[in-house]
Amino acid sequence: MSYKIGDRDVSIRVNAKGLSEVTPIIVPTQNSNGISIVDIQYNSSNKEVSVFLPYQFSSQQEFDAAVSNSSFPFKVNDKIFIENISVGVSTVGKGFNSSNYNHQTFAIKEIDENIGGQAAIKYSLSDYLSGSESPGIMDKVNSSGKVIFERDFPIFDPKIKKDSYRKGETVKTNKNSFGVVEEWDSI
């Protein structure tokens, strides 16, 4: 599904296949409410990603004060969504974005206040990359990365309408087979 601000409706890009009673999960993308990403680095030995943020602390006391007054909003186990990180056109990397991993959120595993440098958070791709797979290297020129908290996602309440067929209706499959509905029980 997709929705652009100003649209009246949500567009269904891929319809569900088969009959299902599962309520869809709507994941917002192209968020403007995130925190900018300065850089991303990948550690292939543990498959962890370090996300460098626009926060700098000159002392541990300054960092502690930022955490206590919530000006540094990150906490271990917070769920985050990563967007708009380019790994370049010619890369073989899988990417860093949540969209590269079926729109998954990632749990923050660690916070690195990096006194005197850029503060960073870490998340793991160990459940998403196999063997020697890599997310690639961030293309800083073509990236405008954001970290978005799952807690800041809008909340949707999708209403599902059962599909119905009419007696005599012609039905076409995706393999160009045709048939005519003889009976249909919508229960």
- Which residue type does 176 have? N
CA distance 66 to 51: 18
- Domain locations in the chain as residue ranges: 35-152
pLDDT by residue for the chain (187 residues), tens digit each?
666 667 777 776 666 555 456 677 777 777 777 888 999 999 999 999 999 988 878 888 887 777 777 677 888 999 999 999 999 777 778 999 999 998 899 999 998 888 888 889 999 999 999 988 999 999 999 999 999 888 888 777 777 776 677 788 888 877 788 888 888 776 6
Per-residue pLDDT, 109? 96
Residue among 131, 127, 142 at smallest CA distance from 91 = 142
Per-residue pLDDT, 44? 92
Per-residue pLDDT, 173? 77
Q: Token pair of 124, please?
A: 């793991």
Per-residue pLDDT, 108? 96
